[in-house]
Amino acid sequence: MNRTIPSRLIRTAFLALALWPAFAFAQAQPAATQYPEWDQLTPTQRDALVAPLRERWNSNPDERSRMVERAQRWKTMPRDQRDRAGHGMQRWEHMSPEQRTEARGLFHAMRDMDKEQRKVFLADWRKKSAQQKTEWLKAHPAPERRERARQ
């Protein structure tokens, strides 16, 4: 299934990737669970939350400044933006590798466009056939990205 990814989803998906450990912990708990304050978490629960971030921090020294920037931006983000980012992250996790490649390509192409240019670009994108989209993505690849270490 080849669906077009809205630009807002693409932006929030990349932000949300940085927040995966916290969301993974939340999803592992039953829905009715009341989450305790940090000080009331067991050492095992704390480690479950921090370990993926620790690994990412240690294995990507060049990314540390971006990680800090994302964390600061998340702290100042209004609740509705956080919710959209969380939703975007969940959609990203359920995308096929082909859909992720498409999302990266579109994100890279639209990142410097203003709102009107993005609107025109996406309208044109939706009119393309699957073959035209594939050809466009091959002609306009997103920059190479480094894989993050995951446990």
pLDDT band of 116, cuts 50, 70, 90: very high
1 assigned to some structural domain: no
73 assigned to some structural domain: yes
Total residues found in the chain within this entry: 151
53 assigned to some structural domain: yes
111 assigned to some structural domain: yes
* Mean pLDDT over the full length of the chain: 81
pTM over 0.75: no
Stretch 66-88: mean pLDDT, rounded? 90
Interior CA angle at 127 toward 126 and 132, to 5°? 95
Return the pLDDT at 69: 92
pLDDT band of 36, cuts 50, 70, 90: confident
Q: Is the pLDDT of residue 124 over 90?
A: yes
Residue pair 35/104 in contact (Cβ under 8 Å)? The answer is no
Q: Is the pLDDT of residue 27 over 90?
A: no
Q: Could you tell me the residue range of the domain that residue 14 belongs to?
A: 7-27+44-139
Stretch 76-82: mean pLDDT, rounded? 92
Which residue blocks in 1-151 are alpha helix, DSSP H? 7-17, 20-28, 43-59, 64-76, 79-93, 97-110, 115-127, 130-139
Into how many domains does the chain fold? 1
CA atoms of 53 and 149, how far apart (whole Å)? 10
Q: Is the pLDDT of residue 64 over 70?
A: yes
38 assigned to some structural domain: no
32 assigned to some structural domain: no
CA atoms of 136 and 88, how far apart (whole Å)? 24
Q: Is the pLDDT of residue 24 over 90?
A: no
